[in-house]
C-alpha cells in the first residue's frame, strides 16, 4: 500500500520533503560520497582600538566624481536668475562652466553689484535673454581663482581690529573684473533697456506661478 494518498484533487496527504525522508532519497542527493568538511575559519584578530564614529566605506573604490552636465537651456551669454545665496533675485550673465561643474557668472558688477562668482546650476533659472560675451576673455579664470586667501594678520589683536576685519579684494580679482565688464559693456549698450533689465530684481507677486511663466 502506498504511503502517499490524495486527500483532495491536487492535494496530497504527505508533503514532498516528508516523502523524501520516508523513502531515503536524500542519500542520493549531491555529487556522491560524503560532503567535504569545511576548513576551520581563521580566528579574526580583534582590534585594540575602535574608531569613535563609523567610517564610510565607498562601494566602488574606482569611482571618480564627474562635473555636472550643463543644461541645454544655458549657454555662453545666457541671463540667469539667482535663486539662492547672497545675490538671490539678481540677474547675472553666464560666462562658462568651470572644471568643477560650477557656473562662472558676472553681474556685471558696475550694473547690479554682482562680481565674478561661481554658482550651482541647480539654483538658477535660465531666461531667454542672451548677451554677446564673445569679446570677454575668461580662459584664465578657473576654480583656483576663487581659492580662499591665507590670513595676513600678525597678531590676535590685529586680526580682530576694525581695520583688518574688513573684506579685502585682491588687485588681481579687481583687474579681472574690470577686464570682463569692459568687454561686456559694449554689448549691453547695443540692446535697449538691457542694463535696466539686469538692474531689476526678480520677485513673485500674488497670482504669479513660476511653472506657468516664460522667462
d(CA 170, CA 161): 20
Beta-sheet pairing, 124-130 with 78-82:
antiparallel
Cis ω for the linkage preceding 108 (within 30 of 0): yes
d(CA 79, CA 194): 11
The answer as to whether 4 is a domain residue is: no
Q: Give the chain's domain count.
A: 1
CATH of the domain at 181: 2.30.30
38-91 residue pLDDT tens: 666 666 677 777 776 777 776 766 767 788 899 999 999 999 999 999 999 999
The answer as to whether 101 is a domain residue is: yes
The answer as to whether 9 is a domain residue is: no
d(CA 189, CA 194): 8
Block residue for cell numbers 600678525: 154
The answer as to whether 40 is a domain residue is: no
The answer as to whether 16 is a domain residue is: no
Average pLDDT, the chain: 82
Nearest to 112 by CA among 93, 131, 135, 97: 93
Q: Which residue has the higher pLDDT, 97 or 52?
A: 97
The answer as to whether 37 is a domain residue is: no
Question: What was the pLDDT predicted at 46?
Answer: 74
What are the E-state strand segments in the chain?
A: 6-8, 11-12, 78-82, 91-97, 103-106, 117-119, 124-130
The answer as to whether 135 is a domain residue is: yes
The answer as to whether 57 is a domain residue is: no
Question: What was the pLDDT predicted at 36?
Answer: 57
Question: What was the pLDDT predicted at 176?
Answer: 92
118-167 residue pLDDT tens: 999 999 999 999 999 999 999 999 999 988 776 565 665 666 665 555 56
Range of the domain at 110: 78-205
Q: Which residue has the higher pLDDT, 107 or 54?
A: 107
Amino acid at each position: 500500500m502506498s504511503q502517499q494518498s490524495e486527500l483532495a484533487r491536487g492535494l496530497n496527504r504527505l508533503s514532498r520533503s516528508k516523502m523524501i525522508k520516508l523513502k531515503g532519497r536524500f542519500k542520493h542527493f549531491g555529487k556522491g560520497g560524503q560532503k567535504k568538511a569545511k576548513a576551520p575559519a581563521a580566528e579574526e584578530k580583534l582590534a585594540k582600538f575602535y574608531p569613535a564614529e563609523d567610517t564610510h566605506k565607498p562601494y566602488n573604490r574606482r569611482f571618480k566624481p564627474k562635473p555636472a552636465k550643463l543644461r541645454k537651456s544655458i549657454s555662453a551669454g545666457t541671463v540667469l536668475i539667482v535663486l539662492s545665496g547672497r545675490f538671490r533675485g539678481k540677474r547675472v550673465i553666464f560666462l562658462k562652466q568651470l572644471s568643477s561643474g560650477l557656473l562662472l557668472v558676472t553681474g556685471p558688477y558696475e550694473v547690479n553689484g554682482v562680481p565674478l562668482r561661481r554658482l550651482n546650476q541647480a539654483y538658477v533659472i535660465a531666461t531667454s535673454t542672451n548677451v554677446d560675451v564673445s569679446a570677454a576673455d575668461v580662459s584664465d579664470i578657473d576654480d583656483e581663482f576663487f581659492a580662499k586667501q591665507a590670513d595676513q594678520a600678525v597678531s590676535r589683536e590685529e586680526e580682530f581690529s576694525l581695520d583688518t576685519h574688513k573684506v579685502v579684494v585682491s588687485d588681481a580679482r579687481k583687474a579681472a573684473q574690470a577686464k570682463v565688464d569692459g568687454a561686456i559693456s559694449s554689448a549691453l549698450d547695443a540692446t535697449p533697456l538691457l542694463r535696466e533689465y539686469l538692474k531689476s530684481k526678480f520677485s513673485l507677486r500674488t497670482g504669479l506661478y513660476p511653472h506657468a511663466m516664460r522667462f
